[in-house]
Amino acid sequence: MVKWKRDLYCSIILMIVSAVLFIYAGTFRTTNVDIWLAQPDVYIRFWLGAMFILSLLMLIRTLRNKPQDMTAKIFGKMQIFTVVTMTLYIFLLEHLGFALDTFLVILVTTAVFCIDGMDPKPKGKELAKLLAKYSVFSAVSTALIWALFTQLLDALLPRCELLDYFIH
């Protein structure tokens, strides 16, 4: 793909996304916060406004210069895998809960990225050992992230809805 076309598409998409999210951020208002800078939408709108302006500058630069050099593909199989995985993570977080969802995402992502780079691909006991190692890594990472958010930042994280069906 020619660079100027890629930059044109990216700048237009970023402008649309930032404009839509800027408008959506206006729904974050609360009635109990009187200080303008303390309202929940102020900083997100600031960054989205900055993203819109930078995207507009990128669009202007692209239309002025139109660089003709070729660029590499933006999306390969691993980039698509990452986008799909993060999308599933966001949509399943409420249903699976933080701990299970985060553990699965870290495990699957680590396994796919690490095994994809290996030649030859591991099989049998070697694959089982790697998956066990990745499982331990995922469990420790999930526990550390949970501790950071719940203990240090005092945040409430989503619980597993599926457990509620079995407990009650």
**Within its chain, how far is the Cα of 2 from the centroid?**
27
**Alpha helix positions (H), the chain:** 3-25, 42-65, 77-116, 124-147, 161-167
Mean of pLDDT over the chain: 84
Beta bridge partners of 70: 2
DSSP 31: S
Check residues 167 and 95 and name the one with the higher pLDDT: 95
Alpha-carbon distance of 141 to 147, in angstroms, equals 10
The amino acid at 48: L
pLDDT in tens, 38-82: 666 777 888 889 999 999 999 999 888 887 777 767 677 888 898
What per-residue confidence (pLDDT) applies to 125? 93
Check residues 165 and 24 and name the one with the higher pLDDT: 24
Determine which of 67-81, 90-104, 112-126, 132-146 has the lowest per-residue pLDDT on average: 67-81
What does the domain layout of the chain look like in residue ranges?
A: 3-65, 77-167
SS3 27: helix
Q: Please state whether 66 falls in left (phi above 0), alpha (psi between -120 and 50) or beta.
A: left
Query: Does residue 158 have a cis peptide bond before it, meaning omega lies within 30 degrees of 0?
Result: no
Alpha-carbon distance of 147 to 69, in angstroms, equals 48
Given a cut of 90, whether residue 22 has pLDDT beyond it is no
